[in-house]
Each structure stands twice: as structure tokens, then as C-alpha cells.
Structure 1
Amino acid sequence: MKMDSKETTHEHQGMDHMNMSDQHSMNDDHGNGGHMMHMGDMKKKFWISLILMIPILLFSPMMGIQLPFMVTFPGSEWIVLIAATVIFFYGGMPFFTGAWSELKARKPAMMTLITLGTGVAYIYSLYAFVVNNFGSHSMHVMDFFSEEATLIVIMLLGHWLEMNAIMNAGNALEKMAQLLPGEAHVKSENGDVIDKPLAEVQVGETVIVRGGESIPTDGKIIAGQSSVNESLVTGEAKAIKKVAGEKVIGGSINGDGALTIEVTGTGESGYLAQVMQLVQKAQQDKSKTETLADRVAGWLFYAALGFGILAFVFWWINADLATALSRMVTVLVIACPHALGVAIPLVVARSTSIAAANGLLIQQRDAIEKAKHISHVLLDKTGTLTEGEFTLNTVKSLTDTLSDDEALSLIAGMEQHSSHPIATGILTGAKERKVKISAAENVETIKGVGLSGDIEGKSYQIVTAAFLNKQNIEFDKDQYDQLAQQGNSVSYLVSNDQALAILAVGDQIKPEAKKFITDLKSMGITPVMLTGDNQQTAQKVANSLGITEFKGQLLPEDKEKVVREYQAKGNDVMMVGDGVNDAPALVRANIGVAIGAGTDVAIDSADVVLVHSDPADVVNFLKLSKATNRKMIENLWWGAGYNVITIPLAAGILAPLGFVLNPAVGAAVMSLSTIIVALNAMTLRLKK
């Protein structure tokens, strides 16, 4: 994974690792007007309401029809009344508060429609109970206790499913929090090593990590070297060699060597805490499709209210008050969105489960909605299309005063202060050639250019050909072109405005990259490669992969500019990158996708993280998004279609033709619609 050689600092405050999992609790301000509740409360309300619903279904008719398993006995109607009352006030409370918030905002939606239906059903059923038990025995009024109970239970189930789906998206990160040990070996000022609870470890303290232990905090190595396995944290499968001056991430597994680390991020400001905080923020986002579901519910609210009033007036004029009241209540109860309430949550639950199983962490859920409009995918080259593992191919002195090995010694001396993959390749090459590495001081990153540093009192720079051109420093352009056309990244060792040596390192294209590009094209999406490499190297890689649009010699701000240029032409753009340098472009793009999760900046910038660091998962994300959108729209049609048809029929729009919808038929169709929505959601698949 590509890492910026300049250290990044943690700017956001997270949460202590001991209570990270508690942060998944849902606040009361999520979703529709604040109706979302704590996950545990919603689950408890669902199960209690479900148990109370059983005697209601056993002892009372549904929409006036007696079901085959229905039984009655003296006092059974009182059991139904008590159970329905508890469900209404206890189970229905989150919907009442949600409806109040929607009405205060003057935007009636799902919660208002649910409250309207259940409220009317319960109040009318109380009237029916009084008339049937204390009124004239010759008069029987149909009650709606069954409808009130089933609607509340189904809505609680829908919201529980949605919350559970959101929680599942963060389960992998919750497990990451458990990677941190409970204690750290802290080195005191007098040199003693004591075990301190991790929650008490402070930034700036020194901790000792022994071989095979989990690294307790984010930090900078000040002594020792070891191979560190960051796969459980970043998704990178390979152990990474770490030496003094390099950063480590809390939760990584140390190899055989002992490390002394200066703490830069604790449980409150470390990498894992920031990731958890990011997921918590993403959980509170709503997709446009869900907003559409709310808008549909709002339209149904006005439609139900309008048809209910018209039905009441019509039947009062043409029949009697009792018939008019019964018909209006039937309209309002049938309008309740049983199927619509679970249409989106069921699809979200299924989609989230599939995404997690395929290594996709969708951090911004509206990315699923945006994905269907993507026309161009902009791809960082190094680490995304290529392995990011560079091999030293050429190092040649350009002056008689310096041998090739001496030039490599100077270059490696500065590169050992960088964690960039190119630096790793150079150091490996130097060791293979048994070149003694010089001791460099004051090494700094030259943004978008290379490095500068001092060796034995003399200043050196490692720079690009573009820098030489800009500074009017002479070099052999034919030699440069020859190496660049072979697919190498070419750099120069410079001192006192003179090019002392030329350096060429090569990267390998990922085996799966070509098929990935072919798959994008088959979906009608144009791949665009972006790289800081020279034009010749970019051309060679692009030709090998079948990419026709590419841009080379880009600085980090240039990538962001390219994204804006494509957007200015009316294109919806996805940016795929893997490091700090890609962050501005990831933020600017319509959808930012991070390959792996190696830098906190990349994670902060991305809408989607590919846990397995496989670019082919971009195609999987696009396919899953397309399938998810299709299922959401289908379920909205199934859920709302029932209401659109049955509301006017229940109101009696075909009464002049002798047809009025039987409430029992309406209940049957309502149940069928809910079952179809559930089955349709379960058919969501990701075809790889």
C-alpha cells in the first residue's frame, strides 16, 4: 500500500477502545424525524409486541373475517383489548414521537402515516368494543385490533432489520477494536517497564512491544526493527518490515523483533478509534432512495386522508353515519404501509450482508444510489493497478567523481527515511548489491517531487525529470526516454544544481488488473488512469491494460483537478486510490473508493473501502449497487402499489358499479404484498 513519507497527524478525537462497541448504539435522531431508537429497545419492543399479538389473532377477527384458528370464550374480548392497548402505547411509542417530529417539520411521511392508521384503528376499535359489549345486542361493529397490532409489529420488525443491517456494517470494525490488548508495557522515566491499563496510556509515553504481541497503540518506532502484520487492520496480507522512524498502527501483530515505540495515538485518538467514529457517522446518513420511500409515504398520507374524508361524506349522504364512519376507518387502516415499511430495510439488510461477505465496507450509504450514474472511474496507478512493489532496475552515475555504488549509497541513505514502496525497492536493491547505506540527516519530503537531505555536510535531492526541467538542470533526455519507455519510474540524484546519477525502478502490474479494466468497459464505464509517473511509463502501463485515457506527472492537487474537469463535463466520477496522496481526489469525486485502509486520511476521504485491496471489488460494488437499487425500486412499487389500488377501492370509488372492497380481501392483499416484498428482498444476489 502506498504511504506518504511525510508523517500524518491524527486530527480527530475518537473514543476509548474499551467502549468503542458502545458507540454503535443508535441515537434517537436517526432517520425519519427522530424515530430510530436504541437497538436493544427496538428489539425488546418487537418481541414483547409479537407475543402480545398472538392472543389478539387467536381471539379476534381480522378485518371482520373469522380465521380458521380463531377461538372465543367469555372474557376473551377483554384479553384482546388489554393486549392491543399495551401494543399501541408501548410498541407504538417510537412511531408517535417520529410522527410528532415530522408534523413539527411540516413533512408528514412514514411515521405520520403509521400513526394515522394505528391511531384511527385503535380509537375506532375502542368504540366498537363499547358498542359490542355494552350497547344493543342487535348491533355489531367491526373492530380493527388485529390490524393495529400487526401493523405495529411489522413496523417494529422493519426498523429493527434496518438498524441491524447498519450495525452489521460495523461488526468487522467492532472486532478490530478487540485487537487491542488490555495492557501495555510502558517504559518509565527511570527505565523500568511497568504494565499499565491501555486506557491510561498517554500520547508521548514509550511502550515496549515484544515479539508476537499485539501493538497496543499507534506510534513511531524509536528503537528496534521487526516485520509487522497489519492485515487484520488494513487488509494488507503481507507482513511489512518496520524500522526506526516508521509508524505502526495499534492492533497490528508484531513479528519476532522487539520494538520500542513512542505513542502518537491512544485509544482515544488512534487509527481504530477514528475508523469506528467514521462508521458511527456513516450510520446516521440516509440514502436518496430511503428519502423517496418517505416521500411516497407522505403522498399516501395525504391520499388516505383525502379519500377517507370523501368516503365518509359519500357514505353518510348515501347510507348512514355508522356505514360512513366504518368505511372511512377502513380506508385509513388499509392505507397503513405494512409492505412499504419493510420494503427498504429488508433490501438494506440483505445488501449490507452481501457487501460484508465480499469485503466491501460501504461507509456512505448514498454511494449505492450514486453508483448507477457513474460514467468514469479514475484510477490511481501505484498500488491500485500495480503491485506497488518496486524493483531497482538501473542506477548509473552521471559524473566521474562518483561510482554507481556510491551513488546508490547516497540515494539509499535518504530513502531509508521514507516508507514509500519505491524507497523499499531501492533499499532492497542496495542490500542485494551489498552497498553500504550512507547516514543521512534532515531528510524531508519535497511534495510531488521527491526527497532532500544532508549526507556528510553536503545537501542532496532525489527528484523527477520534471523538476530538472523546471530548474533548468541539464540531463540526457534520450537516456531518460529509453528507461521510461521500459515502464520505469525514473529519478535523479542532484546536488548543487547538477544531476549526479540516474535511477530507474519498475513496478509490476497486478495480474487481475487487465480483467478489471475489461469488466469496467463492458459495463459502459470509461477507466482513466492517473499517476505521478512520467508520460512514457504511464503510456506503457495504459497500453498494457487497454486504457485509452490516462494522465501522468500529476501532483496530488492535480488529481483533484482532473476529477473536477471530468465533473465539469457532466460526468459522474468514481475515484479509486489507496494513499494519502489520493485524498483530495477521493473527497472531490462523486464516489471515493479506498483500496485497503492503510492511512487515516484515505479512510476519512472514502465513501467505500475495499477491505481485500482487490480492484476487482470495484466491479463487485458497482454490480451490487445496481442490483440493490433495482430491488429498492421494485419493493417501493410493490409496497406503494398495494395502497394506490386498495385505498380508492376501500373508499367505494366503484360503488356505483356495485363493487366495494371487502375489508377481509384488503387484509389478504395487504399480507400478500408484505410477503412479496420480503421474498423479493431475499432474492438480491451479487453475480461476480
Structure 2
Amino acid sequence: MSDKHQQDHHKMEHEAMDHSKMEHGSMDHGSMDHSMHMGNLKQKFFISLILAIPIILLSPMMGVTLPFQFSFNGSDWVVLILASILFFYGGMPFLQGAKMELQGKNPAMMTLISLGISVSYFYSVYAFIANNLLHTQNHVMDFFWELATLILIMLLGHWIEMNAVSNASNALQKMAELLPGTANVLDEEGNTTEVALKEVHIGDKIVVKAGGKIPTDGIIINGQTTVNESMVTGEAKDVSKKEQDKVIGGSINGSGTISVDVTGTGESGYLSQVMALVSSAQQEKSKVESLSDKVAKLLFYVALAVGILAFIIWLVVTKDMNIALERMVTVFIIACPHALGLAIPLATARSTSLGAQNGLLVKNRQALEVAKKVDVVMMDKTGTLTEGNFAVSAFKSFSTDYTENDVLEYMGALEKDSSHPLSVGVLKKLEVLNLTTPAATDTSTIPGVGIEGTIEHQTVKIVSVAYLTKKGISYDQQLFSELSTKGNSVSFLLVNDKNIGLVAQGDQIKPEAKTMIQALKDQNIKPVMLTGDNQQAAAAVAQQLGIDDVHAELLPEDKEKLVKE
């Protein structure tokens, strides 16, 4: 659902819609524990850095003392204690990940990292015992320096990657914000009480005022109105609603006040079901195995084989167990992918950053790996190809007594205090043209029709084509058909019940949309439009952009079904 949300974002208070417990996205790096949040990784990295600095300063690298290193009596004990804490604290995410990989009989990146840090730690403990407690004749080389740097680099890589991926927009949170925090519940005596949304139950009666958010699914039991469902269904045009019609929680009530019998709230609500679909799609594991895991899996088996082979060969040649063990451990440590641990996350971070700068949010790094195989791109219309905002596309006068500007000004006078999306479009147009509105008095909504009021002692109304047809008032049917076919909402202006003009408002195509569609075609990628909007509006936009495959009047679950197909 990529429709632009113009409404105020309220914190959703419904207990059944607590999405803080949901797992969002599949930020998997091998089988790393998904409970490891970005904040925990950041904390682990900096604490591990504090532990690692003394180790790096006090212990040699592969037996070679670097210029900045020093030692003192007891420094070996300091290194051992710090390295032990670092191994079990900083290395725990990798050890847990390796356990999950091995349980799934699928050793990959986590297993390879765990192999490297484990053999370096335990062999170094053996070296410490041999050198400091047993005082063996030949000094045994330790790998505490390698242990510290390996854990630091891997933690840094995972933190960078999770930080980059988590910058993607949270679709579930945005959907949750569509619902208001309270509802006006109607009691048996006809009084209304504002209560928290979590206290509203199926069977309750609620009142939704003009311009307000509809808090729950339900059936209208009193009143008529128009409802903007674009943020839920993608339908750009307002939908007329009367008694016994269904309404969806999260949509915006239009010009009429309605009473609603609650049929769905919380997990039973339509919006909650859509959110469940999105959550399910986010958590579904990709069938494409990560490139880094493929490399790590191969490298794990190669390192294991070469390490064992090295041990056997050196044992046969030297007849010295210490030398053979030292060579095997060296192979395991060298095989552990310091570079791979940073290369993949840095590439992901840079790619997602560049994508975000160009309006492309990447939730899963595997999407980057399979992007080169894409041959179809499916997209919504409202808010993706179009601006998602209604704007005046045409305004006409049918009377010699009124200019086109007069028509716009009269409409603006009636709509000045309205929060209806179409009113906003008219008022914006007046502001752009620097026009002023006459004074309007006695303004009121006509349920399911529009607005009426008095301007300069004349009765003025803003009405729909259905009202004209019902009252037998003539209008230019060809012009109306031409404008509505382009996806416009058309409002007529009546002065003393005489049709004097109209204003058409439509969703404007984004300037870069056509360039994007053409760029896809140039790469032999087929663009497909999936929209909840009406067939006429969808066809009009598709024709202007050059999209041949169009699916209109879809609900979110219909879109999901088409994507799966």
C-alpha cells in the first residue's frame, strides 16, 4: 500500500494491534539471532572495543610484536581475562548463530566465524597454560590478538548492515497510525461518550462526525456521507455511503455525520487483516540464498578440510604435536572472512543509502542480489505514479453572469471551513491564483450530496452529478464524461438551483513517473499497475504513462494474490 497518507498520525492504542512485538523484515546474516536489535549490537561493539584495545596493545600478532605493543609482569593474565570476557560476550551472537545453522544442518557465515574465534580462543588458552603454567621448552604461539580483531570487525559489520536495513520505512507502523485513538460510542439514550478505541467492541454503536476518521469496521445505521478509502484500498475517488453500507476502519468520513454499528475491531478489523498480510510477507524467508552465505558455506568446508590436512602433514613431517596444532589453527583463523564480514555490510549500507536518496527503500539485502534478474515491476497508482493529492484540473462557467473565477471563488466560500479533501484542493487553487472568496453564511452539509449556504443573498450549493440527475437539472454530459474518464471528481455549482459551473479535481501524475516507466521498458522490464482505483481512472493514467498491463479496483489482498501469481 503506497498511497500517500495526508491524515494526522495518532498513536494507535488498540491492544490487539500491538506491533512492537512483530518481527519486521528478515535482516538475516546467515542465521544470526534475530532478537539481536541494532541497539544491542552497537552496545556490544563499543564494550568489546574497550575490552579489545588492551589485548591488541599487550599481545603479539601471529607471534610478531608490533611497534606499538608492550608488556609487563602479569600482562599475560590481563590478556587472558579480557579475551575470555570478549569471547563469551562479544562472540555470543555468532556462537548462537552457528548453533542455529548447525541445528538446521546448514553451516554458513555464523559457523565459519564461530570456528575462527573458537579455535583462536581455546588454542590461545592452551598456549597460555603451556607458556605460563607448564613452562614448556618451546614457546607456543597464542592468537588473542586475532581473536580480538576478528570479533570487533564482525560486530562492526553486522551493526552497519542492520543500521542500513532498518532505515527502511516501517509500513506496519504507518498502517497502525491510520486508526484514531478514540471513538464516540452511542448509548441507548442517544448520548455519545468518547472512549479509548481498545474499549470499543463488536455490536457497539459509534458516531463519526464529518471529516473524522472512521475508527472501526461497521455498517451505517443512520445518515449518508461520502468516504475517502484511498489510504486503505487505493481508491482515489470518494465513495458514496448510505444506510446499510459497510465502512472500513481507517478511512476518512466526508461531509455527513453517520452512526455505525461496529462489526469489526482489533484483530477482526479489515485494516488489521491487511497488516497481518504485510507482516506475513515481511517475515516470509526468501528462497534465494544469500551470496555471502554461499561463499561462507563453501569456505567452511574448504577451511575444515585444508586445516585437517595441514595438521596431518605437519605432524608427519615434524613429529611435533604443537607445531601441527599451530598450523591447523592458523589455517582456520586465516580462513575466517574478516573482509567478507565487512564487505557485504558496507556494500549493503552504501546501496541502501543510494537507494534511499532516490526514493527506493530496501528492507532485505537479498533484494539487491536478485535485482538483476527482475523482468516485471508491479506498482500501485495513487501516491506512487501519482501525487496522491487532489488538485483542481479544470473549472468551467456555464453562465454569462459568472466568470470561471467566480465559480471557483463561490465554491471556496462554501468550503472554507471544511476539512474534506476536495475542499482542500479548491482552497489551494484559490491561493495559487491569488483569488479572494465572498462571505458565505448559513453553510451546512447536504448528506451524501455536498454543501449549501448563502452568498450575496443567493442560495448556493455544491453538488454531485447524482444530485443533478435526481433533481432533473441539465448539465453537459459529454464534458462530464470527458473529465470523469480522466479520473477526476466533478463537483457542480448551483445558484438558486441553476447550474452555473463545475470544478474537476484529479490526482496529478508525478513528473518523473513517465521517465521511470520508459527506463524500465528500455531494460526490458515489464511495468504492471495494481490499483484500487476505478477502471477509468487507472486506464487514463496507464495510457499517459505507456503501461499496457493494468489491474484496477483491487483490494490489498487482491494485490497480494496477483503478486504471488
Higher deviation after alignment, 286-295 or 581-590: 581-590
Take 1:121 and 1:279, find their aligned partners in 2: how far apart are those partners?
Answer: 43
Take 1:313 and 1:306, find their aligned partners in 2: how far apart are those partners?
Answer: 11
| Aligned equivalent of 2:92 | 93
Secondary structure of 2:267's partner?
A: coil
Q: Is the 8 A contact 1:383 1:578 kept in 2?
A: no
CA 1:119–1:543 in structure 2 vs 1: closer, same or farther (change >3 Å)?
closer
| Residue 334 (structure 1) aligned with residue 308 (structure 2) | no
| Aligned equivalent of 1:344 | 344
The aligned amino acid for 2:33 is H
CA drift of 1:369 comes to 4.3
| Residue 60 (structure 1) aligned with residue 59 (structure 2) | yes
Take 1:516 and 1:587, find their aligned partners in 2: how far apart are those partners?
Answer: 25
The aligned amino acid for 1:37 is S
| Aligned equivalent of 1:668 | none
| Aligned equivalent of 2:68 | 69
Instruction: Write the mapping of 1:454-465 to structure 2, written as runs, cut at 5 A.
Output: none
**Where does structure 1 lack aligned partners over 5 or more consecutive residues?**
4-13, 393-425, 440-479, 490-504, 552-558, 560-576, 593-688
Q: Is the 8 A contact 1:206 1:262 kept in 2?
A: yes
Q: Deviations over 1:88-127 (max 9, x none)?
A: 2233233223323323333221122112111110111001
Q: Deviations over 1:446-466 (max 9, x none)?
A: xxxxxxxxxxxxxxxxxxxxx
Take 1:90 and 1:358, find their aligned partners in 2: how far apart are those partners?
Answer: 39
Take 2:364 and 2:561, find their aligned partners in 1: how far apart are those partners?
Answer: 12
Instruction: Write the mapping of 1:234-273 to structure 2, written as runs, cut at 5 A.
Output: 243-244=241-242, 245=245, 247-250=247-250, 258-270=257-269, 273=272
Secondary structure of 1:61's partner?
A: coil
Q: Is the 8 A contact 1:375 1:524 kept in 2?
A: yes
The aligned amino acid for 1:300 is L
| Aligned equivalent of 1:301 | 300
Q: Is the 8 A contact 2:208 2:253 kept in 1?
A: yes
Take 2:322 and 2:189, find their aligned partners in 1: how far apart are those partners?
Answer: 90
Q: Deviations over 1:63-97 (max 9, x none)?
A: 32334433322222222111211222233233223
Secondary structure of 1:106's partner?
A: coil
CA 1:520–1:205 in structure 2 vs 1: closer, same or farther (change >3 Å)?
same
| Aligned equivalent of 2:455 | none
Paired residue total: 463
Take 1:152 and 1:210, find their aligned partners in 2: how far apart are those partners?
Answer: 59
| Aligned equivalent of 1:114 | 113
Take 2:552 and 2:346, find their aligned partners in 1: how far apart are those partners?
Answer: 32
CA 1:346–1:288 in structure 2 vs 1: closer, same or farther (change >3 Å)?
farther
| Residue 517 (structure 1) aligned with residue 496 (structure 2) | no
The aligned amino acid for 1:53 is A
CA 1:530–1:285 in structure 2 vs 1: closer, same or farther (change >3 Å)?
closer
Instruction: Write the mapping of 1:151-190 to structure 2, written as runs, cut at 5 A.
Output: 151-171=150-170, 173-174=172-173, 176-178=175-177, 180-190=179-189
One of 549, 554, 564 as aligned partner of 1:580: 554
CA drift of 1:526 comes to 4.5
The aligned amino acid for 1:580 is L
Q: Deviations over 1:123-159 (max 9, x none)?
A: 1100111122224486432211122223223333333
Secondary structure of 2:207's partner?
A: strand
CA 1:34–1:488 in structure 2 vs 1: closer, same or farther (change >3 Å)?
closer
| Aligned equivalent of 1:21 | 20
| Aligned equivalent of 2:493 | none
Take 1:2 and 1:309, find their aligned partners in 2: how far apart are those partners?
Answer: 54
CA 1:169–1:225 in structure 2 vs 1: closer, same or farther (change >3 Å)?
farther
Secondary structure of 1:142's partner?
A: coil
| Residue 314 (structure 1) aligned with residue 313 (structure 2) | yes
Take 2:505 and 2:24, find their aligned partners in 1: how far apart are those partners?
Answer: 48
The aligned amino acid for 2:132 is N
Q: Deviations over 1:201-239 (max 9, x none)?
A: 2233233345676554445555557787778x5698989
RMSD: 5.2
Higher deviation after alignment, 518-527 or 121-130: 518-527
The aligned amino acid for 1:93 is M
CA 1:280–1:85 in structure 2 vs 1: closer, same or farther (change >3 Å)?
farther
| Aligned equivalent of 1:374 | 374
Take 2:205 and 2:365, find their aligned partners in 1: how far apart are those partners?
Answer: 40
- Identical amino acids, percent of aligned pairs: 50
Take 1:179 and 1:118, find their aligned partners in 2: how far apart are those partners?
Answer: 48
Higher deviation after alignment, 327-336 or 56-65: 56-65
Q: Is the 8 A contact 1:387 1:507 kept in 2?
A: no
Secondary structure of 1:169's partner?
A: coil
Q: Deviations over 1:8-53 (max 9, x none)?
A: xxxxxx98366322324899x9664463334155444334323322
Q: Is the 8 A contact 1:15 1:268 kept in 2?
A: no
The aligned amino acid for 2:205 is T
| Aligned equivalent of 1:449 | none
Take 2:263 and 2:334, find their aligned partners in 1: how far apart are those partners?
Answer: 60
Take 1:531 and 1:41, find their aligned partners in 2: how far apart are those partners?
Answer: 40
Secondary structure of 2:333's partner?
A: helix
Higher deviation after alignment, 53-62 or 117-126: 53-62
Q: Deviations over 1:602-621 (max 9, x none)?
A: xxxxxxxxxxxxxxxxxxxx
Take 1:248 and 1:532, find their aligned partners in 2: how far apart are those partners?
Answer: 14
Secondary structure of 1:185's partner?
A: strand
CA drift of 1:332 comes to 0.5
One of 13, 34, 52 as aligned partner of 1:36: 34
Secondary structure of 2:193's partner?
A: strand
| Aligned equivalent of 1:145 | 144
TM-score w.r.t. structure 2 length? 0.64
Instruction: Write the mapping of 1:175-574 to structure 2, written as runs, cut at 5 A.
Output: 176-178=175-177, 180-210=179-209, 215-219=214-218, 222-223=221-222, 243-244=241-242, 245=245, 247-250=247-250, 258-270=257-269, 273-274=272-273, 276-287=275-286, 290-319=289-318, 320-352=320-352, 355=355, 359-360=359-360, 367-376=367-376, 431=463, 435-436=467-468, 438=470, 510=509, 512=511, 513-527=513-527, 545=545, 550=548
CA drift of 1:286 comes to 4.4
Q: Deviations over 1:511-569 (max 9, x none)?
A: 64543432223223355789999x9999998876556xx47xxxxxxx8xxxxxxxxxx
The aligned amino acid for 1:332 is F
**Where does structure 2 lack aligned partners over 5 or more consecutive residues?**
4-12, 395-447, 451-460, 472-477, 488-503
Q: Is the 8 A contact 2:17 2:272 kept in 1?
A: no
Take 2:508 and 2:20, find their aligned partners in 1: how far apart are those partners?
Answer: 39
Q: Is the 8 A contact 1:26 1:36 kept in 2?
A: no
Secondary structure of 1:36's partner?
A: coil
Take 2:160 and 2:514, find their aligned partners in 1: how far apart are those partners?
Answer: 39
Take 1:55 and 1:247, find their aligned partners in 2: how far apart are those partners?
Answer: 65
Take 2:306 and 2:253, find their aligned partners in 1: how far apart are those partners?
Answer: 69
CA 1:364–1:53 in structure 2 vs 1: closer, same or farther (change >3 Å)?
closer
CA drift of 1:331 comes to 0.8
Q: Is the 8 A contact 1:186 1:196 kept in 2?
A: yes
Secondary structure of 1:96's partner?
A: helix
Secondary structure of 2:290's partner?
A: helix
CA 1:211–1:15 in structure 2 vs 1: closer, same or farther (change >3 Å)?
closer
Take 1:539 and 1:229, find their aligned partners in 2: how far apart are those partners?
Answer: 20
CA 1:68–1:382 in structure 2 vs 1: closer, same or farther (change >3 Å)?
closer
CA drift of 1:267 comes to 3.6
Q: Is the 8 A contact 1:220 1:264 kept in 2?
A: yes
Take 1:313 and 1:268, find their aligned partners in 2: how far apart are those partners?
Answer: 62
Take 1:488 and 1:281, find their aligned partners in 2: how far apart are those partners?
Answer: 36
| Aligned equivalent of 2:45 | 46
The aligned amino acid for 1:266 is T
